[in-house]
Structure 1
Amino acid sequence: MENLTDKDSLVEYGFKRALITFTCILCALLEIVDTTIVNVALNDMKGSLGATLTDVAWVITAYAIANVIVIPMTSWLSQQFGRRNYFAASIIIFTVSSFLCGNATNIWELVAFRFIQGMGGGALLVTAQTILTETYPPEKRSMAQAIYGMGVIVGPTLGPPLGGYIVDNFSWPYIFYINVPLGILATLMTLSLVKSPRYGAKQAAKEVDWWGMVFLIMFIGSLQFVLEHGQQDDWFEDSTILGLSILSFFGLFFFIWRELTYTKPIVNLRVLKDKNLQVGTVMSFILGFGLFGSTFIIPIYTQSILGWTATDAGMLLIPSSVMTGLMMPFIGKMIQAGVPQKYMVAVGLCIFFGFSFFMYGLITNDTGSEHMFWPLIVRGIGLGLLFVPVMTLSLSTLQGKAIGEGASFTGMSRQLGGSFGIALITTFISRDSQHHRVDLIANIDATKFEVQQRIAQMQANFIGKGFSPNEALAKAYQLLDGSVTKQATILSYMDVFLYLGLLFLICVPFVLLIKQGKKQKVDMSNMH
């Protein structure tokens, strides 16, 4: 392994820097696309592997749990094995398990291989960000964050349309096989281009914080399962969800106790004393909530209410992501020029509120893609103004190794924010639509002339199709009931957009209270 004592020797220029940048973005994209690409293939997997919908949901859950367990440990693992070796090993694990996922013969094989894939993938995000940041000189590091941000923002959006295209034209194993040649390319480029900084002596096996690892897995693994399966299992009415919630609570309690008392903790919690990192971690959570929440709800709305295909629903989000990607270099330059990040974040939050409020007033049961184009462009601008400034502001008052440890917290917080967002949104839609349904039914008075007239029209239509009067009347009531349910669901989607927007608006005053780091050009040279 190539170890370097001079941190500046990690900086690269010209063509070599371009190649390292390409490698890092490729790895970040591989990891993030794989979190969403399987969503559109679940039905095909269910059919070919003979699984139930509950079983096949584990394909998503296993990957998410592995991801969120590995992210906080990434800084420590990099120091143990050397960053280049750890990064290359993670790509190899991700690539080999992708091949095994495609060859799975039953659902539980697939779930096991997805978990291993998630263990490899979780390391790719934070380590790619670190390598990319170190490759650029200090005055250009906000630009490095911007380039990295393009991958992170565009990735979740590319998954569904790419997955839809592959499933429609080939078969579901190819959504995993596509990773293999890209993974081999990324491994070869990592081994030939990436350098590792010198770390202190490795910890002996007896010094390793094994209990910290156990408590972290208890806390994060249980929490992620609860968030993924809570709604479908009726939350705390289910004994498994209740038991895992209690396990997660005690896991968190003992994890905090262990990390604050052990001399060589696996996750350094003391770095959270930094006020900017505290705010940045909360903001990353809200960013994950907004990014993954809106990426989740828009395809569901377009497919369940408007009847779109998975590919069309995925394609709708691409202009928004492209807009974010186009903005990233300009945002990087603005930060380099000294524009305070907290003002950019505040504007981004206000723009995201505007998008949510726009969607609240826009969605109906026949809204077209042309109506949603500009609101989604606005969303892209808002996310662009949030991502890079939040990342650089979070780390602006940290130095040395603390920067890498801080990056792990923001990465984990963003992932958990997404999980919380999706769990809360699915629960809210399910319960809110029931309330709206009750309210709507209360307004359908069978004694009103308009209601009687509509039922009579629908009955006449069914009689015209050959049904008996009684059958036609039953069908008319069934159709009316379906119409009420659909309208109730639309109203609950509107509420989600409204509350999502208000959440972002409430955050604005808190962001403006953040103290700016003394160093505008953030030194991230020791970031892990």
Structure 2
Amino acid sequence: MSNNASFTPPSLLMATIGLSLATFMQVLDTTIANVALPTISGNLGVSSEQGTWVITSFAVSNAIALPLTGWLSRRFGEVKLFLWATLLFVLASFLCGISTSMPELIGFRVLQGLVAGPLYPMTQTLLIAVYPPARRGMALALLAMVTVVAPIAGPILGGWITDSYSWPWIFFINVPIGIFAVMVVRSQLRKRPVVTSHQPMDYVGLLSLIVGVGALQIILDKGNDLDWFESNFIIIGAAISVIALAVFVIWEMTDKHPVVNLRLFAHRNFRIGTIVLVLGYAGFFGINLILPQWLQTQMGYTATWAGLAVAPIGILPVLMSPFVGKYAHKFDLRLLAGLAFLAIGLSCFMRAGFTNEVDFQHIALVQLFMGIGVALFFMPTLSILMSDLPPHQIADGAGLATFLRTLGGSFAASLTTWIWIRRADQHHAYMSESMSVYDSATRDALNTLGGAGHKAYAQLDQVLTSQAYMMSTVDYFTLLGWMFMGLILLVWLAKPPFTAKAGPAASGH
């Protein structure tokens, strides 16, 4: 129920600030930890691969919570849900900051992801409710801007905080922001009419989703450590995941009130658009995860400089987003999405040409160029996938697309890290096998490093490791580049017209 007539311009501004801050805080947390991973892993005594769980635990729990948002908002009211979710997010952030071990941190990141689930959808819903129809486009454009700026600020802020203070402060900064957002939103929206209902909850679907997705994420996170299917733990986990997900699909296709409406995949454009969205976002997420880690662990960058190197990716989206939103309808949306994938794919091939001597300016320029693709990616893709849905299914479509996109980012974090480390190990082993103390090139290398003692061998191994990770990085970006080229072809399988209004869903990331 809308009550926008009672809002004066100052109160509308304050409500917008409070709502946007909560979304900014939540989106920021998807990227702020990326550049801090090497520091967090080192301080808590785990490998870089295990450190990735800090990212995946938040992402997968956040994805699982998304389908619950609609039911929770109808049960408790939109404003109350927003306020409680924000307060619990603040509490979870504080608990993350005081964690003293990796299991503690992962547990609190799971909690943080769960309570963060409703923040973006409720911000979107409340902005639409409080703004008059003629000005809703401006409100949603502002929200889209927030979701673009937050990922830019994440690496920079995370790097600076990690270097200048300590990694717990990347979580502690949420406390004052969240409390301020709650105070502002409560003061402006507390008198808004509350409409609640008692729609039945799909407990079977929800439980099977949690078990299936949770087991799959654990497999992806621990598979490399346990040698995959050589481990009974992985075999049992895979069986649990397959059975639970099979139950989930069958149940959701037959239940009257499914927690996730899988019937939407009967629509061609939704099916094609969702595949493109998930794969494109997974690739984008992987780039933002691997690049800072490579810069810090192999190139000697501090967390701050790694954040500055990757941040230019967000400059052009901020500048271009208003124009894309205004003029996109004048073009075939498949063309815009194709140009997005072309730009991102070319940027991947550019990175595949990097060497250990690549400088900061070159890295930053490639990131800047990739920003063209990011600016053209989200809005056309979301509009395509919504274009053939009936009006009454738009909200379900937006929720399902967001759920799968978030899940794709979580899985991408695990798979990307595994591929990167696995290929580096393979390259290191191959180069080591090809070297011998009886080989003149090896002897020359050892002499250059100061002789054949243990120190020289350690230095040589360090050189090999650096080269192995460089080669692995090249392999990864080459693979990713070809994937984006494939998405150019895939998006053209969607059929026009793309004139259906995706509403609020199309505005956010």
Q: Tell me whether 226-235 or 176-185 shows the greater mean CA deviation.
A: 226-235
Is the CA contact (8 Å cut-off) linking 1:83 and 1:197 kept in structure 2? no
Instruction: State the match for 1:493 in structure 2.
Output: 473
Q: Does the residue aligned with 2:29 lie in a helix, a strand or coil?
A: helix
Q: 1:385: how far off?
A: 0.6
Q: Tell me whether 390-399 or 125-134 shows the greater mean CA deviation.
A: 125-134
1:344-355 aligned within 5 A: 344-355=336-347
Seen in structure 2, the aligned counterparts of structure 1 residues 481 and 93 have a Cα distance that, compared at 3 Å, is closer
Q: Tell me whether 296-305 or 114-123 shows the greater mean CA deviation.
A: 114-123
Q: 1:132: how far off?
A: 4.2
Q: Are positions 1:378 and 2:369 aligned together?
A: yes
Q: Which amino acid aligns with 1:91?
A: T
Q: Tell me whether 346-355 or 449-458 shows the greater mean CA deviation.
A: 449-458
Seen in structure 2, the aligned counterparts of structure 1 residues 339 and 39 have a Cα distance that, compared at 3 Å, is closer
Q: 1:378: how far off?
A: 0.9
For the residues of structure 2 that align with 1:52 and 1:236, how far apart are their CA atoms?
A: 23
Q: 1:233: how far off?
A: 3.5
Q: 1:435: how far off?
A: 3.5
Candidates 285, 289, 296, aligned match of 1:303: 296
Instruction: State the match for 1:294 in structure 2.
Output: 287
Q: 1:301: how far off?
A: 1.5
Q: 1:255: how far off?
A: 1.1
Q: 1:10: how far off?
A: 8.9
Q: Does the residue aligned with 1:306 lie in a helix, a strand or coil?
A: coil
Q: Tell me whether 305-314 or 190-199 shows the greater mean CA deviation.
A: 190-199
Q: Does the residue aligned with 1:80 lie in a helix, a strand or coil?
A: helix
1:448-527 aligned within 5 A: 449-458=440-449, 461-462=450-451, 472-517=452-497, 519=499, 521-524=501-504
Q: 1:503: how far off?
A: 0.3
For the residues of structure 1 that align with 2:506 and 2:364, how far apart are their CA atoms?
A: 41
Q: Are positions 1:120 and 2:115 aligned together?
A: yes
Candidates 251, 259, 265, aligned match of 1:272: 265
For the residues of structure 2 that align with 1:103 and 1:443, how far apart are their CA atoms?
A: 47
Q: Which amino acid aligns with 1:352?
A: I
Is the CA contact (8 Å cut-off) linking 1:324 and 1:381 kept in structure 2? yes
Instruction: State the match for 2:222 in structure 1.
Output: 229
For the residues of structure 2 that align with 1:350 and 1:318, how far apart are their CA atoms?
A: 20
For the residues of structure 2 that align with 1:432 and 1:106, how far apart are their CA atoms?
A: 29
Seen in structure 2, the aligned counterparts of structure 1 residues 334 and 65 have a Cα distance that, compared at 3 Å, is same
For the residues of structure 1 that align with 2:429 and 2:101, how far apart are their CA atoms?
A: 42
Is the CA contact (8 Å cut-off) linking 1:429 and 1:489 kept in structure 2? yes
Q: Are positions 1:417 and 2:408 aligned together?
A: yes
Is the CA contact (8 Å cut-off) linking 2:201 and 2:257 kept in structure 1? yes
Q: Does the residue aligned with 2:301 lie in a helix, a strand or coil?
A: coil
Q: Are positions 1:202 and 2:198 aligned together?
A: yes
Q: 1:11: how far off?
A: 12
Q: Does the residue aligned with 2:163 lie in a helix, a strand or coil?
A: helix
Is the CA contact (8 Å cut-off) linking 2:274 and 2:401 kept in structure 1? yes
Q: Which amino acid aligns with 1:304?
A: T
Q: 1:295: how far off?
A: 0.2
1:29-428 aligned within 5 A: 29-39=24-34, 59-104=54-99, 109-132=104-127, 146-193=141-188, 201-203=197-199, 207-335=200-328, 337-361=329-353, 363-428=354-419
Q: Tell me whether 62-71 or 187-196 shows the greater mean CA deviation.
A: 187-196
In the alignment, structure 1 segments of 5+ residues that lack a partner are 463-471
For the residues of structure 1 that align with 2:274 and 2:342, how far apart are their CA atoms?
A: 19
In the alignment, structure 2 segments of 5+ residues that lack a partner are none
Q: 1:500: how far off?
A: 0.4
Q: Which amino acid aligns with 1:240?
A: F
Q: Does the residue aligned with 2:300 lie in a helix, a strand or coil?
A: coil
Seen in structure 2, the aligned counterparts of structure 1 residues 10 and 476 have a Cα distance that, compared at 3 Å, is farther
Q: Which amino acid aligns with 2:480?
A: L
Give deviations 1:377-399, integer Å, cap 9, x for gaps.
Answer: 11111111101221222223334
Q: 1:373: how far off?
A: 2.1
Q: 1:115: how far off?
A: 2.6
Q: Which amino acid aligns with 1:384?
A: A
Q: 1:82: how far off?
A: 2.5
Q: Which amino acid aligns with 1:215?
A: S
Q: Does the residue aligned with 1:317 lie in a helix, a strand or coil?
A: helix
Seen in structure 2, the aligned counterparts of structure 1 residues 325 and 135 have a Cα distance that, compared at 3 Å, is farther
For the residues of structure 1 that align with 2:506 and 2:361, how far apart are their CA atoms?
A: 46
Give deviations 1:467-505, integer Å, cap 9, x for gaps.
Answer: xxxxx4454344333323322221111011111011010
Q: Percent identity?
A: 33
Instruction: State the match for 1:469 in structure 2.
Output: none
Give deviations 1:430-475, integer Å, cap 9, x for gaps.
Answer: 33234433544565576665554443343xx35xxxxxxxxx4454
Q: Which amino acid aligns with 2:331?
A: V
Seen in structure 2, the aligned counterparts of structure 1 residues 289 and 41 have a Cα distance that, compared at 3 Å, is closer
Seen in structure 2, the aligned counterparts of structure 1 residues 385 and 137 have a Cα distance that, compared at 3 Å, is farther
For the residues of structure 2 that align with 1:196 and 1:331, how far apart are their CA atoms?
A: 34
For the residues of structure 2 that align with 1:383 and 1:210, how far apart are their CA atoms?
A: 37
Seen in structure 2, the aligned counterparts of structure 1 residues 153 and 293 have a Cα distance that, compared at 3 Å, is farther
Q: 1:518: how far off?
A: 5.2
TM-score by structure 2 length? 0.87
Give deviations 1:361-382, integer Å, cap 9, x for gaps.
Answer: 1x11121101112211111111
Seen in structure 2, the aligned counterparts of structure 1 residues 495 and 158 have a Cα distance that, compared at 3 Å, is same
Q: Which amino acid aligns with 1:344?
A: L
Q: Does the residue aligned with 1:35 lie in a helix, a strand or coil?
A: coil
Is the CA contact (8 Å cut-off) linking 1:231 and 1:423 kept in structure 2? no
Seen in structure 2, the aligned counterparts of structure 1 residues 387 and 141 have a Cα distance that, compared at 3 Å, is farther
Q: Which amino acid aligns with 1:202?
A: H
Q: Are positions 1:23 and 2:13 aligned together?
A: no
For the residues of structure 1 that align with 2:6 and 2:497, how far apart are their CA atoms?
A: 23
Is the CA contact (8 Å cut-off) linking 2:156 and 2:308 kept in structure 1? yes
Bigger CA radius of gyration: 1
TM-score by structure 1 length? 0.84
Q: Which amino acid aligns with 1:505?
A: M
Count of matched residue pairs: 506
Q: 1:202: how far off?
A: 1.9
Seen in structure 2, the aligned counterparts of structure 1 residues 142 and 375 have a Cα distance that, compared at 3 Å, is farther
Is the CA contact (8 Å cut-off) linking 2:152 and 2:314 kept in structure 1? yes
Q: Which amino acid aligns with 2:64?
A: I
Is the CA contact (8 Å cut-off) linking 1:83 and 1:196 kept in structure 2? no
